[in-house]
Structure 1
Amino acid sequence: MSKRPGRRGKASKLPSKADIRKFVEESPTRVGRREIARAFNITGADRVALKKLLVDMREAGELGPRPARR
C-alpha cells in the first residue's frame, strides 16, 4: 500500500536559543522542558531535539543550572 499523497513530515520548528532565553527570563515562575515545549507548541520527536538544545545551552552557560530535585 502506498503512502497517502500530501502527508509529508513537518519541518522542525524549534525555537531559537534567543527565543528560549527570552521566554525563560520573562516567565514569572520556574520553567522546565515541559513548559517550553508547550509555549512553543513542540510535539513528538521534536521534544528530543529540544532536550538536546537545552542541554547544549546549559553546558554553554546560556541557561542556569538544573534545579535541585526534592
Structure 2
Amino acid sequence: MAHGRDDDDDDVVDSKPFESKKGLLKLEGHSHLTTFLLFYITFFFFFFFFFFLNFTLLQSCLIFFAKRPIMTQS
C-alpha cells in the first residue's frame, strides 16, 4: 500500500513539474519581451526622472549661488 501511494505521489509530482515546465516555458518566452519592455520603460523613466531632478537641483543651486553673491555684495 505504501509503495502504491508512493508511486501515485511520484506520478503526480512528475505530472506537475512537466505541466509547470510547459507553463514556465511559455511564461519565460512572454516574460522575456515583457522584461525587455519593462526594462526599457524603467530606464527611460529613470533617465527622465534623473534629468528632471538634476535640472531642478541645478536650478535650485543656481538660484542659491545667484542669490548668495547679491547678499555678499550687499
- For Structure 1 versus Structure 2, the TM-score category normalised by the shorter chain is under 0.3
Question: For the pair shown, which has the larger CA radius of gyration, 1 or 2?
Answer: 2
Q: Which structure shows the higher helix fraction? A: 2
> With structure 2 as the length reference, what TM-score do the two structures score?
0.26
Between the two structures, name the one with larger relative contact order (CA 8 Å, sep ≥ 6): 1
